[in-house]
Amino acid sequence: MQKKIAIIGCGASGMMAAITASRHGAEVTIYEHSKPGKKILSTGNGKCNLTNEDMKVEYFSTHATGRLRSCLTRFGKEETKEFFKDLGLILKEKNGYYYPLSEQASMVQQILVNELGVQNVTIICDVIIKEISPCKKQCAGKRWKVITDKEHNFYDAVILACGSKAAPKTGSDGSGYEFAKKFGHKLVPVLPALVQLRCKDTFCKELSGIRTEATIHIVCDNKELCCERGELQLTDYGISGIPVFQLSGKVNRYLFENKKAELIAHIDFLPCFNGEEWDVFIKERLTAFQNFTIERFFCGILNQKIMNLLIKSAQLNPRDLVKASNKNKLLQVFQMCRSFTFHIEGSNGFDQAQVCTGGVDLNEVTDDLESIYAPQIYFAGEILDVDGRCGGYNLQWAWTSGFIAGEAAAQR
Ligand SMILES: Cc1cc2nc3c(=O)[nH]c(=O)nc-3n(C[C@H](O)[C@H](O)[C@H](O)COP(=O)(O)OP(=O)(O)OC[C@H]3O[C@@H](n4cnc5c(N)ncnc54)[C@H](O)[C@@H]3O)c2cc1C
């Protein structure tokens, strides 16, 4: 008998689950309270970075690494590339990052929606799910009843692919977590990730708008928690850019678990120098430019606005001559070039975050991503406690988990 499957959420993972379940012979209905694939349109700055050649579990955050590894083995980057190739989407690769050749995220969304049509998947948009409840005997042998604001229907299995709380404008408002809780799931606390960090320092306003290569070391009680190198963006409230995004999930988790922690970001504005080269550079500069003013002496090393701030922080007068200035203060400026301190107070919220860290614990689902509490309830995508670095890892998780849940729901 053909299985009837409901999927809640028509995002990346929901569409993958629907296509897979239909291809395995199921009759599939997707319930979407917004529009199909809205979030996909804003991915990768509108270009959609949909997977990565360098796929390792270490690039993800989860409390069940073993289960994540087995999922990525079942459906990983090769299967993703093959899946899209079979749908007619030509991909291009840049430094290991995969995009559609057209660099249009809308192509990815369109090609998935087209395939849903080919597979005869019913998509019901602008609908509110009121309840998902176990069926009583009169439900024609079906296990689950899905009640919406317009109708109700009976299904053999339901896949929750509602996304997280990140970027709620795209439809992911966190309502999926409430369904999961009703089925008995405990959530790993859900926090913003891939998001800007806010700092307490008043000098942020002075530096706003600067972009510079840097290494960011996140430190608590003199212990380094994590570090990243890349293009740092300074904003009027703190720090942003890809390296900050990569660190943000860990920072938020740490601050959540250690409420009183004082987190510091030490910024190395000159990561291109190793220690020895830097010592030589300082020595040569001090020897060669003794007759320069402080202002001229430090010109040409860093972004001028940053350097002016460092000179001010060391309490040097820009118009004084180097030879007449306190050497320790000069050395202090050099030291700050390699380790300038920002005091972190948290991050921007869910509306600014690209993903969430946390969600339905992977230890509370089977290898097929079926709930251990509610038979024939499956999960796919960001609703689960898996989030990845920037670089196509989050969409890869959506494809991976969508495929596994869709296949299992149709076959079992
Ligand atoms: C700005 C931005 C850029 C990004 N760029 C990239 C990138 O380049 N590469 C990458 O790998 N990842 C990227 N991501 C992350 C990636 O988009 C997500 O991880 C991925 O889309 C999650 O897929 P999902 O199916 O789990 O959730 P979503 O795509 O959020 O889909 C969930 C769907 O469920 C619907 N829904 C929710 N609750 C209900 C309900 N109660 N009833 C009915 N429908 C419901 C929502 O409307 C939505 O359509 C980016 C994210 C953002 C915000």
CATH number, domain 4-188+357-411 = 3.50.50.60
From the CA of 393, give the closest atom in ligand 1: 11
Does 34 sit in the ligand 1 pocket, CB within 6 Å?
A: yes
Distance 12 CA to ligand 1 centre (A): 6
Distance 391 CA to ligand 1 centre (A): 15
Interatomic CA distance for residues 284 and 269, integer angstroms: 19
Distance 163 CA to ligand 1 centre (A): 5
Question: What percentage of the chain reaches a pLDDT higher than 90?
Answer: 97
Distance 11 CA to ligand 1 centre (A): 6
Question: What are all long-range contacts of 69-74, with beta carbons under 8 Å and residues at least 24 apart?
Answer: 70/367, 71/367, 71/369, 71/400, 71/401, 71/404, 72/396, 72/400, 74/400, 74/403, 74/404
Distance 39 CA to ligand 1 centre (A): 5
Q: Identify the burial level of 348 via C-beta atoms within 10 angstroms of its C-beta, where 0-12 means exposed, 13-18 middle and 19 or more buried.
A: middle
Domain regions of the chain by residue span:
4-188+357-411, 196-348
Does 400 sit in the ligand 1 pocket, CB within 6 Å?
A: no
Mutation pick for ligand 1 pocket among 72, 394, 396, 397 (CB with most ligand atoms within 8 Å): 394
Distance 166 CA to ligand 1 centre (A): 8
Q: What pLDDT does residue 249 have?
A: 98
pLDDT in tens, 178-192: 999 999 999 999 999
From the CA of 167, give the closest atom in ligand 1: 53
From its phi and psi, is residue 290 left (phi > 0), alpha (psi between -120 and 50) or beta? alpha
Q: What pLDDT does residue 138 have?
A: 64
Distance 37 CA to ligand 1 centre (A): 8
Q: What pLDDT does residue 116 have?
A: 98
Mutation pick for ligand 1 pocket among 10, 123, 172, 397 (CB with most ligand atoms within 8 Å): 172
Does 166 sit in the ligand 1 pocket, CB within 6 Å?
A: yes
Distance 268 CA to ligand 1 centre (A): 34
Q: What pLDDT does residue 139 have?
A: 76
Q: Say how many C-beta atoms besides its own lie within 10 A of residue 71's C-beta.
A: 25
Interatomic CA distance for residues 101 and 262, integer angstroms: 45
Q: What pLDDT does residue 260 have?
A: 87
Q: What's the one-letter identity of residue 32? A: E
Contact 8, 160 (CB under 8 A): yes
From the CA of 382, give the closest atom in ligand 1: 26
Distance 402 CA to ligand 1 centre (A): 12
Interatomic CA distance for residues 53 and 98, integer angstroms: 8
Does 109 sit in the ligand 1 pocket, CB within 6 Å?
A: no
Q: What pLDDT does residue 142 have?
A: 87
Low-confidence residues of the chain, pLDDT below 50?
Answer: none
Distance 71 CA to ligand 1 centre (A): 19
Rounded to 5 degrees, φ, ψ at 61 are -120, 125
Interatomic CA distance for residues 408 and 74, integer angstroms: 12
Alpha carbon of 73 to those of 22, 69, 367, 386: distances in Å?
22, 6, 12, 15
What DSSP assignment string belongs to 57-76?
GGGEEES-HHHHHHHHHHS-
Q: Whose CA is nearest to atom 27 of ligand 1?
A: 163
Mutation pick for ligand 1 pocket among 19, 351, 354 (CB with most ligand atoms within 8 Å): 354
* Tokens 């299992």 found at: 408
Does 105 sit in the ligand 1 pocket, CB within 6 Å?
A: no
- Taking every pair of Cα atoms in the chain, the longest distance, rounded to a whole number of angstroms, is 94
Full 3-state SS string of 317-330: CCCCEHHHCCHHHH
Q: What pLDDT does residue 102 have?
A: 97
Alpha carbon of 83 to those of 12, 122, 400: distances in Å?
13, 21, 11
What DSSP assignment string belongs to 93-155?
EETTEEEETT--HHHHHHHHHHHHHHTT-EEE-S--EEEEEE--TTTTT-SEEEEESS-EEEE
